[in-house]
Chains A and B, each alone.
Chain A
Amino acid sequence: MDPMFLCSRRNECNRYRVSGQPIKPKIEMVVKDTTRHPWEDGTYDYDLAVIGGGSGGLACAKEAVNLGAKVAVFDYVTPSPQGTKWGLGGTCVNVGCIPKKLMHQAAILGESIHEAVSYGWQVPSLESIKISWPALTEAVQNHIKSVNWVTRVDLRDKKIDYINALGEFKDPHTLVGTLKNGSKKEITAKNVVIAVGGRPHYPEIPGAVEYCISSDDIFSLGHPPGKTLVVGAGYIGLECAGFLKSLGYPATVLVRSVPLRGFDQQMAQMVTNEMEQRGVVFHHRTIPLSVEKLENGQLKARWLNTETQEQGEDVFDTVLMATGRYALTKALNLEAAGVNCISESGKIVAAAEQTNVPHVYAVGDVLEGRPELTPVAIHAGRLLARRMFAGATQQMDYENVATTVFTPLEYGCVGLSEETAVHRFGSESLEVYHAYYKPTEFFIPQRNIRNCYLKAVALRDAPQRILGLHFVGPVAGEVIQGFAAAIKCGITMEQLMNTVGIHPTVAEEFTRLNITKRSGKDPNPASCCS
């Protein structure tokens, strides 16, 4: 049965009318619903209820309210297995992008102190320079708390009702929120946006949930992490291992398949090479087997190499699980709303952010097959609000979204990886321009330049439209953002080569690309003899 018929106000659902024509309900298919819902007279408490006060949900709520809608937002954080909880604002602000970038910055600053000596700064007792973990986490957490506060002020100021409760469906238009004290709050809404995001996944091995932390915990960890095992080599695992090592904590990474799966693998190699050269230990093709707590409080982790079947083990102070994230759809009681477009991984399949129930939408990390990125969620949420409440028609374009991995040497990219481009177009139809480069500021402190590399993946035929740009080096995010706009505009290699660079910058290297992989020429800079 088509669940949209569960909705007894389906004729009034604003998204129910496809292509302007109201769909005639097939009366014989309507489930006889004997209970009378308070919203059945066509009045709802809210025009929009958003479940999840993260980047996507809040952006959607704010835009909706700007367009005159009455809006409520449910937000609730279930504590992590280690008991960490946080405030309004979602993953990005509390346990994601923001604390990650701040700790990355802390790591860079520490390195800069050492580099400063090469530039003539007189730093007394360089060997005694070390991070105060409590001071770092306090600074980071204070920033987060002030963002939580500003977010709450913003919602209140915009007259959005913030309900600090775990929201779930009671019926297609009724949501029930469970507050911290267990009491319930029920509201009705004409439209519902699911923006519950995701949480870290724990592998099913002994000791994982009991003793291990995740990205939910690391940024507020009450004690220095010490020697740390990071399980997982996605961007979260690599970023955590990267800043921990730079902050002075030994880091080991278990890689199950390949690092940064889904990203360009040549670039991923550059990123992990740099980390290895900085002392991060990688165990490739390994899966964790168990984590046990020793009498001294340390954690003994065991793992298996899936190729050689050899087992390995070591003792750590902290084990951080970064083995993926799962969408928080289970707690939503989606059946009650008739939402059934759920993928195997528990995510919501919703082209145009609309579920199979026309007045129920989804944005952000909860969506299947969409980039799990804050700005993506924000943009999609905003556009959705305009379609819901302003008759707009613009759809979210999920193509060519730029992103950056904030590893010690950052990796920024936009568009297709070389692998994906080859898969889609065939290598004969592609031209890949690449170069190693030497950031000017690396010379004096003799920083490692071996992994400073960039490439452009373009169509081979003139004018060589660019499909993907990739950059490993300092401030990669700042470098890539502007080029992402160029890609959106359909920039070609001809146009890129005719762009005059800003000297001396690292971003100008894109304008200097001229060596193709096909030519077999040395992509190292001319003056380089390494």
Chain B
Amino acid sequence: MNAIKIDNMVKKEIHTVNNYDEFNEYISKLSEKKAKVYFMFTGKKKENGRSWCIYCQMAEPIVKAFIGELQKEIIFVYVDVGDRDYWKDKACPFRTDARCKLMVIPTIIKWKGVQRLEGSQCTKRELLQMLFEDDD
């Protein structure tokens, strides 16, 4: 786990987890936290710093900018689902884990909520807006 960034204005936390084990470990420590937790699942970055998944490449800067501007007390966690072969495996633990029900990347989910954005939805600011609205 790295890249923990705490925004001083509102208590916004941004984390990155790099694989399934880290993801599991992160979740196991979550229970007592009060803030709303969101996970964004994207493909591993190549040497050039960009994800192998073109849609993740497209979504990431938009999401990053949006989260940066967002004035809300949330925890936002970037989750690396691994390289292409690892993700494409139908038995990939990210796919089989019933807690995240991942079918595509990128996906952003609200932890323990029904809210989720998939694929090109992640690139739309008005949909990101909805994702962080409070009403359930």
Which residues of B from 100 to 136 have beta carbons under 8 Å from A? 114-117, 121, 124, 126-127, 130, 136
B87: min CB distance to chain A, Å: 23
Contact with B along A484-521 (1 / 0, CB 8 A): 00000000000000000000000000000000000000
- Name the residue of chain B whose CB is nearest to the CB of A155: B130
Contact with A along B78-100 (1 / 0, CB 8 A): 00000000000000000000000
B126: A residues at CB distance < 8 A? 156-157
A146 and B127 within 8 A (CB): no
Contact of B114 among A149, A156, A157 (CB under 8 A): A149
A142 and B130 within 8 A (CB): no
Contact with B along A392-425 (1 / 0, CB 8 A): 0000000000000000000000000000000000
Determine if A331 is an interface residue (Cβ-Cβ < 8 Å): no
B116 and A156 within 8 A (CB): no
A153 and B114 within 8 A (CB): no
User: With A157-B121, A157-B124 given, is the CB distance from A152 to B114 under 8 Å?
Assistant: no
Which residues of A from 132 to 181 have beta carbons under 8 Å from B? 142, 145-146, 148-149, 152-153, 156-157
A157 CA to B123 CA in the complex, in Å? 11
A150: min CB distance to chain B, Å: 8
B126: min CB distance to chain A, Å: 5
A145 and B127 within 8 A (CB): no
A145 CA to B114 CA in the complex, in Å? 6
A148: B residues at CB distance < 8 A? 114
A145 CA to B113 CA in the complex, in Å? 9
A153: B residues at CB distance < 8 A? 117, 121, 127, 130
A157: B residues at CB distance < 8 A? 121, 124, 126-127
A320: min CB distance to chain B, Å: 27
A142 and B114 within 8 A (CB): yes
A383 CA to B76 CA in the complex, in Å? 43
A153 CA to B127 CA in the complex, in Å? 6
A149 CA to B114 CA in the complex, in Å? 7
A255 CA to B127 CA in the complex, in Å? 48
B130: A residues at CB distance < 8 A? 152-153, 156
Contact of A146 among B114, B117, B121, B124 (CB under 8 A): B114
- Name the residue of chain A whose CB is nearest to the CB of B115: A149
A435 CA to B27 CA in the complex, in Å? 58
A519: min CB distance to chain B, Å: 55
B14: min CB distance to chain A, Å: 23
B121: A residues at CB distance < 8 A? 153, 157
A149 and B127 within 8 A (CB): no
A149 CA to B117 CA in the complex, in Å? 10
A156 CA to B125 CA in the complex, in Å? 10
A149 CA to B116 CA in the complex, in Å? 8
A142 CA to B113 CA in the complex, in Å? 9
Can you give 16 A-B contacts (C-beta < 8 A)? Answer: A142-B114, A145-B114, A145-B136, A146-B116, A148-B114, A149-B115, A149-B116, A153-B117, A153-B121, A153-B127, A153-B130, A156-B127, A156-B130, A157-B121, A157-B124, A157-B127
Interface residues of A (CB under 8 A from B): 142, 145-146, 148-149, 152-153, 156-157
Known: A142-B114, A145-B114, A156-B130. 18 other contacts (CB 8 A): A145-B136, A146-B114, A146-B116, A148-B114, A149-B114, A149-B115, A149-B116, A152-B130, A153-B117, A153-B121, A153-B127, A153-B130, A156-B126, A156-B127, A157-B121, A157-B124, A157-B126, A157-B127
List 6 tightest A-B contacts by C-beta distance, closest first: A146-B114, A145-B114, A149-B114, A156-B126, A149-B115, A156-B130
Interface residues of B (CB under 8 A from A): 114-117, 121, 124, 126-127, 130, 136
